[in-house]
Amino acid sequence: MTRCACAALAAGAAVLLGACGGASSSKVAQLPALHPDRAGPQSMFTGTGELINQPVATMNTLQRLGIQSVHVYISWSAIAPDASSFQRPDFDATDPDAYPASGWARYDTIIRGLTSRGIAVSLSLTGPPPYWAEGPGDPARTTQPEWKPNVADYEDWVKAVGTRYSGQFTPPGASTPLPRVDFWSTWNEPNIGINLAPETTHPGSAVEVAPMVYRGLADAAWTALHATGHGHDRILIGELAPQGATTAGQPGLFGAMAPLRFLRALYCVDANGRPLRGTQATERGCPASAAGSARFAAHNPALFDASGFAVHPYSFSSLPPNVRIPNEPDYTELAALPTLEATLDRLQRTYRSGRRFPIWSTEFGYITNPPNDQYTVTPALAAYYLNWAQYLSWEDPRMQSYDQYLLTDPPTKEPFATGLETAAGVPKPGFAAFRMPLYLPVSSTAKGHSLVVWGQVRPAPLARRQTHRPQVVQIQFRPSSGGSFSTVKHVTITNPNGYFEVLQTFPGSGTVRLRWTYPNGETVLSRNAEITLH
């Protein structure tokens, strides 16, 4: 598989980390430094629809896979009363009991179920808003309700959510309080017009509007969560989609804005990182003077004091995960995350802040063909890319999570065929690769010399809690001349997230895999990785 990466690199593509997982001569390969004390990113899953439609089966599978936290999109309009009315109902929007119980029920089920399985819940407080909370001037009022949502109404709704999931709220008819949620994020992909509009003032406009609206939403959520006892919780901002239109006249009202352009407007700076001034500032809701800029951080605490920054680092291409999308400097796919981090740091320094946001991946995966014939990544290649991408995430000490978006493919060929299973529930190669990642950053060296074997037994932390015993994974090898696999090393998992990284000498060229046994006796295998010894 590493040959495809080499081809991309030979074509002059940019690289996140070292090039290919192999060496081209008999010389001893240069190995990456080991990081034995690195905890690495936690295991996260995103897929609210699956949890709503098949909650028990989905949660059981996620527990079996060793998921540590689940990112759940909680929809404002799915909970709000009279969501399809343009007339705001007369109710106390900060009181959870003032909302229809049926709107809360699906989320109560998910949160109770995940908490009982020892899985943390991350709630993304997102739209669309109810129609009655739309802003004025929407040209597509009944089909695009995400138009300039009313910030005060959003703050009230977040207060209701924060109160309900404070750990002290008992719904009518229940005998015990709902579990506490202490992990939050504001909105979902606000740089896409179907989620937050308008992106700019009009088609062809260079004036960004959505960042200004999002700035208000982020601070409203921040205020509401602090007001409801969540001031010490983990609160993320961002949740940006990785791509956006960069051609002339885009993104317009409902298109997608490139994420770093969105960020610059959010923090009120120009393309060179200088604070906006004059009309350029006021059009974007930004301070127009140096005195105003000096107060910007204090007036926008969410942008400076948040617990971290969330991003969805998809590539939506067949490029290897360490190769940037060409000619798109404002994108934030996985290979571009160092640029995102540098941009965030520079934005903080502009306002005399030394904050260095931890980065959270809250959606990620590879669309496979089959089933989606618009893409070129096969299920087998996606499995390899998933492990490579997680290794790259682990190599970045600022990455706090590695996320898998979707357990099961949708029932059509439409995007997001990023599931670990087919629509019929049959495991794709990515299922085994996700459960027990395996990656060799260098896959070829001289005989008698070691290679780095990196991996993770994702369910190991849960298994250790259940059994009170250390978990042991086997590194197995099969020679290229044939025969069966044999165990060449037993590795005890001590990492809190199930990772390991060891040096291993192999007897020759062949195939490497991992083997691990669940506490109930079920033995599972990783994907196979090929190595070459010269």
pLDDT-derived band of residue 263, with 50, 70 and 90 as boundaries?
very high
Please tell me the distance from the alpha carbon of residue 22 to that of residue 443, in angstroms, as a whole number: 4
Residue 511 amino acid letter: T
**C-alpha distance from residue 507 to each of 22, 481, 512 (Å):** 17, 12, 11
Residue 18: predicted pLDDT: 37
Residue type, 504: Q
Same domain, residue pair 19 and 74? no
Distance, in Å, from the CA atom of 407 to the CA atom of 36, rounded to the nearest integer, reads 30
How many beta carbons lie within 10 A of that of residue 376, not counting itself? 12
Q: Which residues contact 147 (CB under 8 A, 6 or more apart)?
A: 134, 135, 137, 138, 140, 141, 197, 198
Select from 63, 59, 101 the least CA-distant residue to 79. Answer: 101
**pLDDT score of 382:** 98
Same domain assignment for residues 176 and 270: yes
Question: Is the residue at 411 inside a domain?
Answer: no
Residue 264 corresponds to which tokens in the numbers above?
A: 């610059």
CA atoms within 13 A on the CB side of 404: 31
Does residue 160 sit in the same domain as residue 249? yes
Non-local CB neighbours of 380 within 8 Å, separated by 6+ positions: 429
- Sequence letter at residue 391: Y
How far is CA 337 from its chain centroid? 12
Q: Among 327, 345, 363, where does a domain finish? A: 363
Together in a domain, 76 and 26: no
Spatial CA neighbour of 389 closest among 458, 443, 319, 331 = 319
Q: Mean pLDDT over residues 237-255, rounded? A: 91
Q: Does residue 409 carry a pLDDT above 60?
A: yes
Residue 477 sits at φ, ψ, to 5 deg, of -140, 140
Residues 129 and 218 in one domain: yes
Cβ atoms 470, 76 nearer than 8 A: no
Residues 163, 275: one domain? yes
pLDDT of residue 219: 98
Give residue 414's pLDDT: 67
Considering the domain architecture, whether residues 18 and 82 belong to the same structural domain is answered as no
> Minimum mean pLDDT among 132-146, 184-198, 402-416: which range?
402-416
The CA distance from 496 to 254, in Å, is 43
Within a domain: 424: no
Instruction: pLDDT band for 247, please (50, 70, 90 cuts).
Output: confident
Measured between alpha carbons, how far is 406 from 372 in angstroms, rounded to an integer? 15
* Strand-pair category, 529-533 with 444-445: parallel
Run of H or E including 246: none
Asked if residues 200 and 209 have their Cβ atoms less than 8 Å apart, the reply is yes
Q: Residue 359 carries which DSSP code?
A: E
> Looking at residues 432-437, what average pLDDT do you find?
98
Domain ranges, residue 140: 68-363
| Measured distance CA(232)–CA(239) in Å, rounded | 20
What percent of the chain is modeled with pLDDT above 70? 95
CATH number at residue 123: 3.20.20
Query: Is pLDDT of 490 > 90?
Result: yes
Number of separate domains in the chain: 2
Distance CA 55, CA 48 (A): 9
Q: Which residue has the tokens 């709704």?
A: 157
Amino acid at the residue 312: H
Per the prediction, the chain carries an average pLDDT of: 94
pLDDT at 281 over 70: yes
The answer to whether 94 touches 156, Cβ cutoff 8 Å, is yes
Q: What is the pLDDT of residues 55-75, one digit of tens each?
A: 999 999 999 999 999 999 999
- Maximal C-alpha separation, the chain: 77
| Percentage, residues of the chain above pLDDT 90 | 91
Residues 443 and 329 in one domain: no
Distances, alpha carbon 348 to alpha carbons 12, 288, 345, 356, in Å: 32, 18, 5, 8
For the stretch 1-32, pLDDT in tens is: 333 333 332 333 333 333 344 334 458 889 99
Q: What's the pLDDT score for residue 20?
A: 44
pLDDT reported for residue 14: 31
Residue 382 within a domain = no
Residue 444 lies in a domain: yes
* End residue of a domain, out of 330, 363, 396: 363
Distance from C-alpha of 252 to C-alpha of 197, rounded to nearest angstrom: 9
Give the end of a domain, one of 363, 396, 414.
Answer: 363
pLDDT at 314: 97
| DSSP-derived pairing of the beta strands 69-75 and 120-126 | parallel
Return the pLDDT at 478.
Answer: 98
Tell me: the pLDDT tens digits for 335-388?
Answer: 999 999 999 999 999 999 999 999 999 999 999 999 999 999 999 999 999 999
Sign of CA dihedral 323, 328, 333, 334: positive
- State the CATH number of the domain containing residue 520: 2.60.40
Mean pLDDT of 486-507: 98
How many residues belong to the chain?
534
| Residue 222 and residue 82 share a domain | yes
Segment 96-108 mean pLDDT: 98
Q: Check whether residue 283 and residue 207 sit in a common domain.
A: yes
- Are residues 352 and 463 located together in one domain of the fold? no
Q: What is the mean pLDDT of residues 191-206?
A: 94
**Extended strands (E) in 300-347:** 308-311
Q: How far is CA 58 from CA 27, 61, 147, 201, in A?
A: 48, 5, 33, 42
* 387 within a domain of the structure (yes/no): no
Q: Is the pLDDT of residue 410 over 60?
A: yes
Q: Are 454 and 500 in contact (CB under 8 A)?
A: yes
**Does residue 105 share a domain with residue 157?**
yes
